[in-house]
Amino acid sequence: MNEKKLKQLFESARREQPPVPPADFAADVLRAVRQVQPAKLKEQFPNFDQLNSWFPRIALAAAAVIALCVAADYGLTAAGLPELGDGTAQASSQFVFNAENF
């Protein structure tokens, strides 16, 4: 199949007439639309509205995580175990910022 023949094929296909929509097509669509609306139409939120609606729950979850960490830290200190921060400081001094390893 050479390029010229391929072009002829495309040109001929371009001339084909598409089917004509039936006279009652728009009415059929409207009937179908009435079955999905109006709830669907009202459900559509822009992204920011959706984030807004989630905000109180996200904020509450974040506050709960912070409270849990603070409580765990106090709990560990009271029990005489090293605090969470101590472990991190120890790891930093021994491995991460240990100049002797370079």
Partner 1 sequence: MSDDAEVLQRIRAGATDEFAELVSRHQSRVFAILHHYERDVQRVEDLAQETFLKAWRALEQFDSRAPFEHWISRIAVRTALDHLRREKKHKNEIGLPELGEDALDWLRSDDEKSELDSRSAAEILELAMQELSPADRVVITMQEIEGRSVKEIAAATGVSGIAVRVRAVRARAKLKRALEKLVKT
Query: Which residues of the chain form contacts with partner 1 (CB under 8 A)?
Result: 1-2, 4-6, 8-22, 25-30, 32-34, 36-38, 40-41, 44, 46
Q: Which is nearer to partner 1, 46 or 80 (CB)?
A: 46
Name the minimum Å distance from CB 52 to partner 1: 16
Q: Which is nearer to partner 1, 27 or 67 (CB)?
A: 27
Q: How far is CA 37 from CA 30, 31, 40, 91, 100, in A?
A: 10, 10, 5, 60, 70
Q: At what angle do helices 84-91 and 47-78 cross, to 10 degrees?
A: 90
Q: Which is nearer to partner 1, 39 or 99 (CB)?
A: 39
The whole-angstrom separation of Cα 74 and Cα 89 is 17
